[in-house]
């Protein structure tokens, strides 16, 4: 991160165009972009023979983030990370994005400075360029909207509805850390690995792309609402079911230490908590070795956690047999049941 000069100015001193300029001057030029920030629309190049991928996500203060424990730099990183994760789940290569901001008047210029530094840092990490956006004032909290474009050849794009019976189910990384991190933040803790995983998740762009390029996945989704909920999208869209083996669900050291190995609650957040932004994918069982080799090269953990069945529904198995107890549903913005998101 480049050291910013702290100004503590207000946005009313700076104005809309000053604010756009503050962000625009940090953007690095890119060969993908023909016309960037500063005209009526952006113009950018696609690779020949590729499909264009587009995804958009909104982050709303009080719904998706709480500024009492979320610093602007990491908020900027996360705002783009959640979009990068969607392109990763399609097996795509992210390229460029638009940023829409509705900002309360009383926010400081320093806040936006730090936010945009975080945003543009992760953009550079994943080779994507900011090409435009929109900026206006908000009367009720900060709203961040990002639209991210990516690309991939048609036959390599991975979808949700293409799982088949007998395929193995794999997941990257560890599950439940983000939901546990949020709980700890809400209890007043401010440091720790699971807290970092909540505030600054890693989008699995390299992993999604490598799987797609190797033709190793049959279906894929990113875990934003919780394992059961998102696996439900794969099985639902594929008109299939699944068996999940609880003892194979990957739990991080810090997560396991928090719950202890005997705790009944141990799997609740891993199955139902959201915002892990790991990839969940299916592949023929005989390709397991290739998948493990690929992930060893990438330096990312991968676990086989179950299999796709032709019988609908998701069945959970522990070492003692089938279990159905105490599983929290994933997050749904409009249902009255409360998930883990604040
Ligand atoms: P118009 O009035 O034609 O929509 P604007 O004055 O809103 O244009 O925006 C001027 C330029 O600044 C455009 O290129 C637009 O894409 C860009 N822009 C506006 N807001 C943002 C932002 N938050 N981040 C990046 N670029 C932005
Ligand atoms: Mg505009």
The residue whose C-alpha atom lies closest to atom 17 belonging to ligand 1 is 132
Tokens of 141: 């909290």
Fold of 168-335: Phosphoribosyl-aminoimidazole Synthetase; Chain A, domain 2 (3.90.650)
- Pocket residues for ligand 1 (CB within 6 Å)? 20, 23, 37-40, 99, 101, 130, 132-135
The residue whose C-alpha atom lies closest to atom 22 belonging to ligand 1 is 133
Give Cα 235 to chain centroid, integer Å. Answer: 20
Fold of 11-156: 60s Ribosomal Protein L30; Chain: A; (3.30.1330)
Which ligand is closest to the CA of 100, given by its number? 1
Q: Which residue has the tokens 């005997």?
A: 262
Q: How far is the CA of 92 from the centre of ligand 1 (A)?
A: 26
pTM metric for this prediction: 0.93
Q: How far is the CA of 100 from the centre of ligand 2 (A)?
A: 9
Q: How far is the CA of 205 from the centre of ligand 1 (A)?
A: 27
The residue whose C-alpha atom lies closest to atom 16 belonging to ligand 1 is 132
Q: For the chain, which residues make up each domain, given as ranges?
A: 11-156, 168-335
pLDDT in tens, the chain (342 residues): 444 555 667 888 899 999 999 999 999 999 999 999 999 999 999 999 999 999 999 999 999 999 999 999 999 999 999 999 999 999 999 999 999 999 999 999 999 999 999 999 999 999 999 999 999 999 999 999 999 999 999 999 999 999 999 999 999 999 999 999 999 999 999 999 999 999 999 999 999 999 999 999 999 999 999 999 999 999 999 999 999 999 999 999 999 999 988 777 789 999 999 999 999 999 999 999 999 999 999 999 999 999 999 999 999 998 888 786 545 456 666 665 444 343
* Beta strand extents in the chain (DSSP E only): 33-35, 43-44, 50-60, 93-104, 129-138, 143-153, 168-172, 219-222, 241-245, 279-283, 302-309, 313-318, 321-323
- For position 329, what pLDDT does the model report? 52
């Amino acid at each position: 991160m480049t050291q910013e000069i702290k100004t503590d100015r207000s946005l009313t001193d700076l104005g809309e165009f000053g604010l756009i300029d503050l962000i625009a001057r940090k953007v690095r030029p890119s060969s993908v972009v023909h016309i960037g920030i500063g005209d009526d629309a952006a113009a950018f190049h696609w690779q020949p023979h590729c499909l264009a991928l587009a995804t958009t996500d909104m982050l709303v203060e009080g719904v998706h983030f709480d500024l009492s424990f979320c610093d602007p730099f990491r908020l900027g990183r996360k705002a783009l990370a959640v979009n990068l994760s969607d392109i990763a789940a399609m097996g795509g290569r992210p390229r460029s994005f638009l940023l829409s901001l509705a900002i309360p008047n009383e926010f400081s210029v320093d806040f936006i400075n730090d936010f945009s530094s975080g945003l543009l840092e992760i953009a550079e990490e994943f080779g994507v360029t900011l090409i435009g956006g929109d900026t206006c004032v908000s009367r009720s909290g900060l709203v961040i909207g990002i639209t991210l474009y990516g690309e991939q050849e048609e036959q390599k794009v991975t979808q949700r509805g293409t799982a088949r019976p007998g395929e193995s189910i794999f997941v990257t990384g560890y599950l439940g850390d983000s939901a546990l991190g949020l709980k700890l933040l809400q209890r007043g803790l401010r440091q720790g690995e699971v807290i970092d995983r909540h505030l600054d998740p890693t989008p699995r762009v390299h992993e999604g792309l490598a799987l797609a390029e190797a033709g190793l996945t049959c279906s894929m989704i990113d875990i934003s609402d919780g394992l059961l909920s998102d696996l439900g999208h794969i099985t639902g869209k594929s008109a299939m079911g699944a068996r999940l083996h609880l003892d194979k669900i990957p739990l991080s050291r810090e997560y396991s230490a928090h719950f202890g190995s005997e705790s009944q609650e141990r799997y609740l957040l891993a199955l139902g908590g959201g915002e892990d932004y790991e990839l969940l994918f299916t592949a023929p069982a005989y390709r397991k070795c290739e998948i493990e080799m690929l992930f060893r090269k990438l330096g990312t953990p991968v676990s086989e956690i179950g299999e796709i069945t032709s019988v609908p529904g998701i069945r959970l198995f522990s070492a003692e047999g089938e279990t159905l107890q105490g599983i929290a549903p994933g997050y749904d913005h409009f249902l009255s049941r409360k998930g883990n998101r604040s």
